[in-house]
């Protein structure tokens, strides 16, 4: 990518972090009272699952955006900490984009299944199947790397 385009995109991304985080915080703040009730219910209905999915999704986005904001600032102004932030980025991605993303998706799919009376067995089967495929991919990548 052209260095000038990359620098412009970097600045645009840095500028978009503020509204993304602030609006995400407003979503969390707005839905938090309902989420607090929903998370404690033993029998959750579709609204409870939907509310929890929204909160997990936006919380994930807020944390993820803040971490990578610090990384992009460090890279933009050429700070020494950039390489260290890159190294820890994978952990942040696992916790936010992936783990919390899976939880948010599960909540939204569960909400959909509850609202259409399809039951949650298929949702649970999908979650298990996705995790098994993910584990198989990890094993496959490990084996390929070991052989090379």
Q: Is residue 127 a contact partner of residue 104, using CB atoms and an 8 Å limit?
A: no
Query: How high is the pLDDT of residue 7?
Result: 83
Q: Quickly state the pLDDT bin for 1 (edges 50, 70, 90).
A: low
Q: Is residue 114 a contact partner of residue 120, using CB atoms and an 8 Å limit?
A: yes
Cβ count near 92 (within 10 Å)? 17
* pLDDT tens readout for residues 14-57: 999 999 999 999 999 999 999 999 999 999 999 999 999 999 99
Residue 49 contacts by C-beta under 8 Å, 6 or more apart in sequence?
38, 107, 108, 110, 111, 114
Q: Is residue 107 a contact partner of residue 52, using CB atoms and an 8 Å limit?
A: yes
* pLDDT tens readout for residues 51-107: 999 999 999 999 999 999 999 899 888 899 999 999 999 999 999 999 999 999 999
Q: Decide: pTM greater than 0.85.
A: no
């Amino acid at each position: 990518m052209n260095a000038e385009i990359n620098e412009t995109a970097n600045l645009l991304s840095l500028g978009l972090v503020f509204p993304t985080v602030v609006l995400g915080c407003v979503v969390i703040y707005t839905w938090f009272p309902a989420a607090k009730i929903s998370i404690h219910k033993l029998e959750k209905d579709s609204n409870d699952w939907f509310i929890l999915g929204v909160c997990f999704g936006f919380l994930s986005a807020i944390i993820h955006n803040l971490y990578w904001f610090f990384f992009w600032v460090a890279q933009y102004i050429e700070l020494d900490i950039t390489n260290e932030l890159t190294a820890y980025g994978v952990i942040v991605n696992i916790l936010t984009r992936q783990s919390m993303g899976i939880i948010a998706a599960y909540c939204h799919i569960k909400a959909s299944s509850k609202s259409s009376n399809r039951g949650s067995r298929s949702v649970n089967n999908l979650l298990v199947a996705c995790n098994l495929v993910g584990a198989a991919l990890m094993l496959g990548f490990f084996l390929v790397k070991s052989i090379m």
